[in-house]
Homo-oligomer: A and B are copies of this chain.
């Protein structure tokens, strides 16, 4: 990658980041190109140099988030600790990311309304890839007999729902800070899985 290409790539990421933060607050229709640009002290015109249109910008920002989440999941999954600890870490990481960026899965509630079929396919594929990271951990736990036997897909979705929702009710004015809260939630959620003995 040449220097110019690197610069371009960096700028693109900045824009995506700006887009993500505004999109997650205001939703697709509530977000204007003006705002995205203004947050970076750019003009609308410049943003259009890097992205063909708003829809494309939103799409790539979704992809970015999902890829980051997947990478994160992979790095956790490859760690050499117990399943329980790995799953706990994954949940906590998800919550912290969701709160910090106000985004994650929550960002796009009804992608069908916005994206083209081929874009949707990519998004669902990545969502699924991320989801499967959880599935694997759950299955690993079941095999290791530390988790109950259960319908993995359903439980995975229950967990994701519980932790995506955090952005809606957590406010940092409370006594508990982000990490503390994330740990607490993780423990509660994992009650669904863990076998008592």
Contacts and interface: CB of A to CB of B under 8 A. Distances in A.
Interface in A149-164: 150-151, 154-155, 157-164
B188 A192 contact: yes
Given A28-B30, A160-B165, A165-B161, A184 B109 contact: no
Interface string A55-73: 0000000000000000000
A154 B192 contact: no
Contacts of A28: 27, 29-30
B166 A161 contact: yes
Given A28-B27, A161-B166, A168-B161, A184 B113 contact: no
A155 B160 CA distance: 15
A25 interface: yes
B161 A157 contact: no
A87 to B, nearest CB: 15
Given A28-B27, A30-B28, A185 B158 contact: yes
A44 interface: no
Within the oligomer, what is the number of copies of this chain?
4
Contacts of A25: 110, 113
A189 B25 CA distance: 28
A79 to B, nearest CB: 25
Given A158-B165, A158-B188, A161-B161, 16 more contacts: A27-B27, A27-B30, A28-B29, A28-B30, A29-B30, A109-B109, A148-B191, A151-B184, A154-B184, A154-B185, A155-B188, A157-B165, A157-B166, A157-B169, A158-B162, A191-B191
22 contacts: A26-B29, A27-B109, A27-B110, A29-B30, A105-B168, A106-B109, A109-B109, A150-B188, A151-B184, A154-B181, A157-B166, A158-B185, A158-B189, A159-B162, A160-B165, A161-B162, A161-B165, A161-B166, A162-B162, A191-B191, A192-B192, A196-B196
